[in-house]
Chain A
Amino acid sequence: MTVKTLCDELGWTVLTEGDLSREITGCYSGDLLSWVMSKAQDGDCWLTVMGNINAVAVAVLTDCACIVLTENAALDDEAKARAEQQDVTILTTALNAYQAGVALSKRL
């Protein structure tokens, strides 16, 4: 499924818009950036509460399909600007990581 379909079906809000037609091929959940860096895969939907500029860098380097800020975690202004500049899609949801992962797993 694409990032756009995910937003439409689950009602997750787009905070920054990259390539919404990007295909989501998996899901990864984590907040420790080095861990995520090592384990997340190209095309993953990354669930995290880290809305800082370093999370954007990790998303770029791992080439994940999008970041999803769970539990409506805050997105820094700096991170928002960098994400827009680098075409990283960031979504937000009130669900926690477990709930978001479950919702996503039914659609992958």
Chain B
Amino acid sequence: MESIKLHYDVSATDFTRAGAASGDVKRTLKQLGVSPATTRNVAVAMYEGEINMVIHAGGGEIDVEITEDAIKMVLADHGPGIENVELAMKEGYSTAPDNIRSLGFGAGMGLPNIKKYSDEFQLDTKVGEGTTLTLKVYMK
């Protein structure tokens, strides 16, 4: 199988569009006959990444590459960066404001979920410059 490359712009603070990119990738994987387990892992990891971009970073960009062995996702933003990565990785820790919590977010599960559902997880962040997540989910 040749690799398939997809690109998405995630707009800032637009919750009505959040989930559009992960939904599209999910559909694509389904059409390609990728297993439901792998598809779910990709969908969860990517949706959480999209939501984080909207809540914390004023949007960003997502690049997805689907190959025979894995799905690679690069989620890059130019937001404020993460001050304390250790805390951000802790389940239940969230800096989401109240208006975001009232929408059902801010459970402090975003990054932990992304890590849990990815086989490879790399977080590069610099305060004041932005955050890039590089994820890989293996085909199962």
Inter-chain CB contacts under 8 Å: number: 71
Q: Given A34-B48, A52-B103, A54-B104, are A60 and B109 also a contact pair (CB < 8 Å)? A: no
A61/B47 in contact, CB under 8 A = yes
* B40 at interface by CB-CB < 8 Å: yes
Write the chain A residue with the least CB distance to B109: A34
Is the Cβ of B40 less than 8 Å from the Cβ of A31?
A: no
The answer to whether B19 touches A55, judged by C-beta atoms less than 8 angstroms apart, is no
Give A25 Cβ to nearest chain B Cβ, in Å: 13
Mark the stretch among A8-16, A35-43, A90-98, A99-107 that contacts chain B: A35-43
Minimum distance in angstroms from B51 CB to a CB of chain A: 8
Cα(A82)–Cα(B16), bound, Å: 9
Main secondary structure of the interface of A (DSSP, over half): helix
Neighbour of B107 across the interface among A34, A53, A61, CB < 8 A: A34
Could you say which of B47, B110, B113 has the most chain A C-beta atoms within 10 Å of its C-beta? B47
Q: Give B residues with C-beta under 8 Å from A.
A: 15-16, 18-19, 22-23, 26, 36, 40, 43-44, 47-48, 51, 103-110, 113, 116-117
| A interface residues, Cβ below 8 angstroms from B | 31-35, 37-38, 42, 50, 52-55, 57-58, 60-63, 78, 82, 86
Of the A-B pairs whose beta carbons lie under 8 Å apart in the complex, a sample of 18, sorted by A's number, is A32-B104, A33-B107, A34-B48, A34-B107, A34-B108, A34-B109, A34-B113, A37-B44, A37-B113, A38-B44, A52-B103, A54-B19, A54-B105, A57-B18, A57-B22, A57-B47, A61-B19, A61-B47
